[in-house]
Chains A and B, each alone.
Chain A
Amino acid sequence: GQQLNQSPQSMFIQEGEDVSMNCTSSSIFNTWLWYKQDPGEGPVLLIALYKAGELTSNGRLTAQFGITRKDSFLNISASIPSDVGIYFCAGRGSQGNLIFGKGTKLSVKP
C-alpha cells in the first residue's frame, strides 16, 4: 500500500532557530496536510495543500506541495518553546483515505 516516509524522526534545536522537516513517498498524493500534536492531545491541523507546487504560510509556518506530488515539506521559522510537539504529515491517497507519516518530534531548548 501507499506509505509515507517522514524525516527527521526527532529534532533538538535552540530557541530562535529555523526548522525543516519533510515527507516523501513513492506514490502520488492529491492532498498534503500537516498536523501538530501536543502530548496526550489530538492532532491539530496546521496547513492544508491541494495543488502541486502550492506554497502556503500560516504565521511562522510554511509548507509546500512538491511538484512531483510525491513530497511535501514544512518549515518553522524562529522557533519558540511552544513549538514543541510531534508534527505529522498526511497525504490523501488514490482511495481518498489519509496516510500518515510516523511524525517528527520537535524539542526546543530555551
Chain B
Amino acid sequence: DGGITQSPKYLFRKEGQNVTLSCEQNLNHDAMYWYRQDPGQGLRLIYYSQIVNDFQKGDIAEGYSVSREKKESFPLTVTSAQKNPTAFYLCASSIAGVTDTQYFGPGTRLTVL
C-alpha cells in the first residue's frame, strides 16, 4: 500500500522549542517537498529535495531546516527562529524532479503555545 505518511497528525509545542515533523514515502520517488498552509492561503514552499543528500530552499525557508539522508525520508525541523510556526504542514513527493506531478501526504497541524 504505497503512499506518503506524515506523523503525528497533531503536534503541540511550547514556544522556543525546536520540533521535527516526519515525512516518509514508499513510492520510490526521488523528489520530496515541504509546504506550509495558513488559513485562506495557498501552499507556500519551504524546502525541497530532488535527490538524497541534497536540498534547496523554497520561498519561506527562514526558521526551518531539513535533511535528506534516505530517499524515503525528508524530516522538517521547525526551529525557535521561526516567528509564526503555528500552521498546517504538508509534505509531497514526485517521481523525479520539480517538473513532475506532486502527491501530498495527509499533513501535520502544528500548534505552538
Q: Which residues of chain A are within 8 angstroms of B59 by Cβ–Cβ distance?
A: 1
B102 within 8 A of A: yes
Interface residues on chain B, size class: 20 to 34
Contact B107 A42, beta carbon cutoff 8 Å: yes
A59 within 8 A of B: no
Q: Which residues of chain A are within 8 angstroms of B106 by Cβ–Cβ distance?
A: 41-42
Among the stretches B11-19, B39-47, B60-68, B75-83, the one at the interface with A is B39-47
CB distance from B88 to the nearest CB of A (A): 8
Contact A42 B98, beta carbon cutoff 8 Å: no
Contact B40 A102, beta carbon cutoff 8 Å: yes
Q: B residues 70-113 with Cβ under 8 Å of A?
A: 88, 90, 92, 97-99, 101-107, 109
Cβ-closest chain B residue relative to A38:
B106
Cβ-closest chain B residue relative to A42:
B104
CA of A91 to CA of B107, assembled, Å: 21
Interface residues on chain A, size class: 20 to 34
Interface residue from A6, A41, A97, A100 paired with B107 (Cβ < 8 Å): A41
B8 within 8 A of A: no
Q: Which residues of chain A are within 8 angstroms of B43 by Cβ–Cβ distance?
A: 43, 88, 90, 98, 100
A residues sitting closer than 8 Å to B (CB atoms) are: 1, 4, 6, 9, 31, 33, 35, 40-45, 48, 88, 90, 92, 95-103
- List 5 interface pairs A-B (beta carbons < 8 Å), by A numbering: A9-B40, A42-B92, A92-B99, A102-B40, A102-B41
Q: Closest 4 interchain pairs by CB?
A: A42-B104, A100-B42, A96-B98, A100-B43
B residues sitting closer than 8 Å to A (CB atoms) are: 4, 6, 9, 40-45, 48, 58-59, 88, 90, 92, 97-99, 101-107, 109
